[in-house]
Structure 1
Protein backbone atom coordinates (compact mmCIF):
# COMPACT_ATOMS: atom_id res chain seq x y z
CA UNK A 1 0.00 0.00 0.00
CA UNK A 2 0.99 3.61 -0.28
CA UNK A 3 3.46 4.70 2.46
CA UNK A 4 1.54 7.95 2.93
CA UNK A 5 -1.58 5.96 3.81
CA UNK A 6 0.39 3.91 6.35
CA UNK A 7 1.87 7.06 7.94
CA UNK A 8 -1.56 8.70 8.13
CA UNK A 9 -3.11 5.58 9.66
CA UNK A 10 -0.36 5.15 12.23
CA UNK A 11 -0.49 8.85 13.06
CA UNK A 12 -4.19 8.56 13.91
CA UNK A 13 -3.50 5.54 16.09
CA UNK A 14 -0.64 7.38 17.83
CA UNK A 15 -2.79 10.45 18.48
CA UNK A 16 -5.41 8.20 20.07
CA UNK A 17 -2.70 6.70 22.32
CA UNK A 18 -2.93 3.18 20.88
CA UNK A 19 0.62 3.02 19.45
CA UNK A 20 3.92 4.81 19.88
CA UNK A 21 6.82 5.22 17.53
CA UNK A 22 10.46 4.77 18.37
CA UNK A 23 13.23 6.22 16.25
CA UNK A 24 16.64 4.81 15.49
CA UNK A 25 18.09 1.36 15.09
CA UNK A 26 15.56 -1.20 16.23
CA UNK A 27 12.84 1.45 16.27
CA UNK A 28 9.43 1.25 14.73
CA UNK A 29 5.90 1.08 15.99
CA UNK A 30 4.84 -0.52 19.27
CA UNK A 31 1.48 -1.01 20.96
CA UNK A 32 1.03 1.54 23.73
CA UNK A 33 -2.22 0.44 25.35
CA UNK A 34 -4.06 -2.53 26.78
CA UNK A 35 -5.57 -4.41 23.83
CA UNK A 36 -8.55 -5.37 26.01
CA UNK A 37 -9.46 -1.68 26.24
CA UNK A 38 -9.45 -0.95 22.49
CA UNK A 39 -12.23 -2.03 20.16
CA UNK A 40 -12.54 -2.12 16.40
CA UNK A 41 -14.83 0.91 16.70
CA UNK A 42 -12.08 2.79 18.54
CA UNK A 43 -9.65 1.97 15.73
CA UNK A 44 -12.16 2.98 13.06
CA UNK A 45 -12.63 6.34 14.76
CA UNK A 46 -8.89 6.83 15.37
CA UNK A 47 -8.00 6.41 11.72
CA UNK A 48 -10.64 8.93 10.71
CA UNK A 49 -13.25 6.61 9.25
CA UNK A 50 -16.16 9.01 8.85
CA UNK A 51 -18.50 6.61 7.07
CA UNK A 52 -19.08 2.92 7.46
CA UNK A 53 -20.99 2.57 4.19
CA UNK A 54 -20.15 4.16 0.87
CA UNK A 55 -23.59 3.62 -0.60
CA UNK A 56 -26.14 6.28 -1.42
CA UNK A 57 -25.69 9.84 -2.51
CA UNK A 58 -23.74 12.03 -0.12
CA UNK A 59 -24.71 15.33 -1.77
CA UNK A 60 -28.20 14.75 -3.04
CA UNK A 61 -29.48 16.84 -5.92
CA UNK A 62 -32.90 18.10 -4.78
CA UNK A 63 -33.97 18.43 -8.41
CA UNK A 64 -33.42 14.74 -9.19
CA UNK A 65 -36.54 12.84 -8.20
CA UNK A 66 -34.97 9.44 -8.99
CA UNK A 67 -32.14 10.04 -6.50
CA UNK A 68 -34.60 11.42 -3.98
CA UNK A 69 -36.86 8.36 -4.12
CA UNK A 70 -33.93 5.91 -3.96
CA UNK A 71 -32.27 7.74 -1.07
CA UNK A 72 -35.52 7.81 0.90
CA UNK A 73 -35.98 4.09 0.35
CA UNK A 74 -32.44 3.26 1.49
CA UNK A 75 -32.04 5.79 4.30
CA UNK A 76 -33.68 3.88 7.17
CA UNK A 77 -32.13 0.56 6.11
CA UNK A 78 -28.66 2.13 6.00
CA UNK A 79 -29.15 3.79 9.38
CA UNK A 80 -30.25 0.49 10.91
CA UNK A 81 -27.35 -1.40 9.33
CA UNK A 82 -24.88 1.23 10.54
CA UNK A 83 -26.15 0.97 14.12
CA UNK A 84 -25.81 -2.82 14.01
CA UNK A 85 -22.28 -2.58 12.63
CA UNK A 86 -21.27 0.04 15.22
CA UNK A 87 -22.56 -2.23 18.00
CA UNK A 88 -20.59 -5.16 16.59
CA UNK A 89 -17.38 -3.13 16.17
CA UNK A 90 -17.77 -1.86 19.74
CA UNK A 91 -18.02 -5.47 20.99
CA UNK A 92 -14.76 -6.74 19.46
CA UNK A 93 -11.54 -5.92 21.32
CA UNK A 94 -8.11 -6.03 19.77
CA UNK A 95 -7.17 -8.57 22.44
CA UNK A 96 -9.91 -10.86 21.14
CA UNK A 97 -8.53 -10.53 17.60
CA UNK A 98 -4.99 -11.24 18.84
CA UNK A 99 -6.16 -14.38 20.68
CA UNK A 100 -7.97 -15.66 17.61
CA UNK A 101 -4.93 -14.94 15.45
CA UNK A 102 -2.62 -16.75 17.88
CA UNK A 103 -4.97 -19.75 17.96
CA UNK A 104 -4.92 -19.98 14.18
CA UNK A 105 -1.41 -18.88 13.31
CA UNK A 106 0.61 -18.67 16.53
CA UNK A 107 3.03 -21.43 15.67
CA UNK A 108 3.55 -19.98 12.17
CA UNK A 109 4.78 -16.59 13.38
CA UNK A 110 8.41 -16.39 14.59
CA UNK A 111 8.77 -14.86 18.04
Structure 2
Protein backbone atom coordinates (compact mmCIF):
# COMPACT_ATOMS: atom_id res chain seq x y z
CA UNK A 1 0.00 0.00 0.00
CA UNK A 2 1.40 3.38 -1.01
CA UNK A 3 1.32 6.04 1.68
CA UNK A 4 1.14 9.79 1.20
CA UNK A 5 4.11 11.37 2.96
CA UNK A 6 3.44 14.97 1.92
CA UNK A 7 2.37 16.11 5.41
CA UNK A 8 5.33 14.43 7.07
CA UNK A 9 7.70 15.90 4.49
CA UNK A 10 6.37 19.43 4.88
CA UNK A 11 6.54 19.26 8.68
CA UNK A 12 10.13 18.03 8.33
CA UNK A 13 11.01 21.03 6.15
CA UNK A 14 9.18 23.50 8.39
CA UNK A 15 11.19 22.39 11.41
CA UNK A 16 14.46 22.67 9.49
CA UNK A 17 13.50 26.19 8.41
CA UNK A 18 12.37 27.14 11.92
CA UNK A 19 15.73 26.08 13.34
CA UNK A 20 17.84 27.75 10.70
CA UNK A 21 19.38 31.17 11.24
CA UNK A 22 19.08 31.93 7.51
CA UNK A 23 16.77 31.18 4.59
CA UNK A 24 17.27 27.70 3.12
CA UNK A 25 17.38 27.16 -0.63
CA UNK A 26 15.10 24.72 -2.42
CA UNK A 27 18.19 22.61 -3.10
CA UNK A 28 19.07 22.44 0.60
CA UNK A 29 15.51 21.58 1.56
CA UNK A 30 15.33 18.94 -1.19
CA UNK A 31 18.49 17.41 0.26
CA UNK A 32 16.76 16.86 3.61
CA UNK A 33 14.08 14.82 1.83
CA UNK A 34 16.27 13.27 -0.88
CA UNK A 35 13.97 14.69 -3.54
CA UNK A 36 13.85 17.24 -6.33
CA UNK A 37 14.00 21.02 -5.61
CA UNK A 38 11.11 21.59 -8.04
CA UNK A 39 8.91 19.32 -5.92
CA UNK A 40 9.90 21.27 -2.80
CA UNK A 41 9.01 24.60 -4.42
CA UNK A 42 5.68 23.27 -5.67
CA UNK A 43 4.78 21.89 -2.24
CA UNK A 44 5.86 25.02 -0.36
CA UNK A 45 3.76 27.21 -2.66
CA UNK A 46 0.58 26.21 -0.78
CA UNK A 47 2.20 27.21 2.49
CA UNK A 48 3.35 30.52 1.02
CA UNK A 49 -0.22 31.33 -0.04
CA UNK A 50 -1.31 30.95 3.58
CA UNK A 51 1.56 33.07 4.88
CA UNK A 52 3.35 30.22 6.67
CA UNK A 53 6.55 30.55 4.63
CA UNK A 54 8.13 33.13 2.36
CA UNK A 55 10.75 32.89 -0.33
CA UNK A 56 13.31 35.35 -1.58
CA UNK A 57 15.23 35.10 -4.83
CA UNK A 58 18.87 35.91 -5.39
CA UNK A 59 22.04 35.68 -3.36
CA UNK A 60 21.22 34.90 0.27
CA UNK A 61 17.67 34.05 -0.70
CA UNK A 62 15.68 30.95 -0.01
CA UNK A 63 12.74 29.79 2.07
CA UNK A 64 11.98 30.85 5.63
CA UNK A 65 9.16 30.26 8.09
CA UNK A 66 7.02 33.36 8.56
CA UNK A 67 4.26 31.74 10.59
CA UNK A 68 3.77 32.26 14.29
CA UNK A 69 4.64 28.69 15.34
CA UNK A 70 2.37 28.60 18.42
CA UNK A 71 -0.61 29.54 16.26
CA UNK A 72 -0.15 27.07 13.39
CA UNK A 73 -1.39 23.53 13.98
CA UNK A 74 -0.76 20.26 12.21
CA UNK A 75 -4.30 20.57 10.88
CA UNK A 76 -3.47 23.96 9.36
CA UNK A 77 -0.49 22.45 7.56
CA UNK A 78 -2.54 19.38 6.57
CA UNK A 79 -5.09 21.66 4.93
CA UNK A 80 -2.36 23.77 3.30
CA UNK A 81 -0.94 20.69 1.56
CA UNK A 82 -4.34 19.82 0.11
CA UNK A 83 -5.90 17.65 2.84
CA UNK A 84 -4.48 14.35 1.58
CA UNK A 85 -6.56 11.22 2.06
CA UNK A 86 -6.06 9.98 5.60
CA UNK A 87 -6.89 6.32 5.01
CA UNK A 88 -6.12 4.00 2.12
CA UNK A 89 -9.21 1.91 2.90
CA UNK A 90 -12.05 2.42 0.47
CA UNK A 91 -15.17 0.85 -0.96
CA UNK A 92 -14.94 -1.81 -3.65
CA UNK A 93 -17.75 -0.12 -5.58
CA UNK A 94 -18.93 3.42 -4.79
CA UNK A 95 -22.49 3.06 -6.13
CA UNK A 96 -23.37 -0.58 -5.47
CA UNK A 97 -26.55 -2.22 -6.67
CA UNK A 98 -26.18 -5.00 -4.11
CA UNK A 99 -27.91 -4.32 -0.77
CA UNK A 100 -25.20 -6.21 1.13
CA UNK A 101 -22.52 -3.99 -0.40
CA UNK A 102 -24.57 -0.89 0.44
CA UNK A 103 -24.59 -1.94 4.11
CA UNK A 104 -20.84 -2.65 4.02
CA UNK A 105 -20.14 0.75 2.40
CA UNK A 106 -22.28 2.56 4.98
CA UNK A 107 -20.61 0.79 7.91
CA UNK A 108 -17.10 1.37 6.62
CA UNK A 109 -17.90 4.94 5.66
CA UNK A 110 -19.26 5.78 9.11
CA UNK A 111 -16.28 4.23 10.92
CA UNK A 112 -13.73 5.90 8.64
CA UNK A 113 -15.43 9.30 8.93
CA UNK A 114 -15.42 9.01 12.73
CA UNK A 115 -11.74 7.99 12.80
CA UNK A 116 -10.77 10.81 10.43
CA UNK A 117 -12.64 13.36 12.56
CA UNK A 118 -10.74 12.18 15.66
CA UNK A 119 -7.41 12.38 13.86
CA UNK A 120 -8.07 15.86 12.49
CA UNK A 121 -9.22 17.03 15.93
CA UNK A 122 -5.90 15.79 17.34
CA UNK A 123 -3.99 17.54 14.52
CA UNK A 124 -5.74 20.76 15.56
CA UNK A 125 -4.32 20.39 19.09
CA UNK A 126 -0.66 20.12 18.09
CA UNK A 127 1.18 23.28 17.07
CA UNK A 128 4.41 23.76 15.16
CA UNK A 129 5.83 25.29 18.33
CA UNK A 130 5.24 21.99 20.16
CA UNK A 131 7.08 20.07 17.44
CA UNK A 132 9.92 22.56 17.68
CA UNK A 133 10.04 22.15 21.47
CA UNK A 134 10.15 18.35 21.13
CA UNK A 135 13.01 18.67 18.67
CA UNK A 136 14.89 21.04 20.99
CA UNK A 137 14.45 18.59 23.87
CA UNK A 138 16.04 15.81 21.78
CA UNK A 139 18.82 17.96 20.31
CA UNK A 140 19.50 20.82 22.73
CA UNK A 141 23.03 21.54 21.48
CA UNK A 142 23.42 22.22 17.80
CA UNK A 143 19.90 21.62 16.58
CA UNK A 144 19.39 20.87 12.92
CA UNK A 145 22.84 19.47 12.20
CA UNK A 146 22.33 16.71 14.77
CA UNK A 147 19.11 15.75 13.05
CA UNK A 148 20.94 14.95 9.80
CA UNK A 149 24.51 13.95 10.69
CA UNK A 150 25.15 12.71 7.17
CA UNK A 151 24.38 16.08 5.54
Q: Which runs of 5+ in 2 are unaligned?
A: 1-34, 146-151
CA RMSD of aligned residues (A): 2.2
Per-residue CA deviation, residues 49-83 of structure 1 (Å, 9 max, x unaligned), is 24322321397142466653432221111111011
- Give the match for residue 78 of structure 1: 112
- Give the match for residue 55 of structure 2: 21
In the aligned structure 2, how far is the partner of 1:92 from the partner of 1:59?
36
For normalisation by structure 1, the TM-score amounts to 0.84
Q: How many pairs align? A: 110
Q: Which runs of 5+ in 1 are unaligned?
A: none
| Contact map agreement 1:60 1:67 (CA 8 A) in 2 | no
In the aligned structure 2, how far is the partner of 1:63 from the partner of 1:8?
41
- Give the match for residue 32 of structure 1: 66
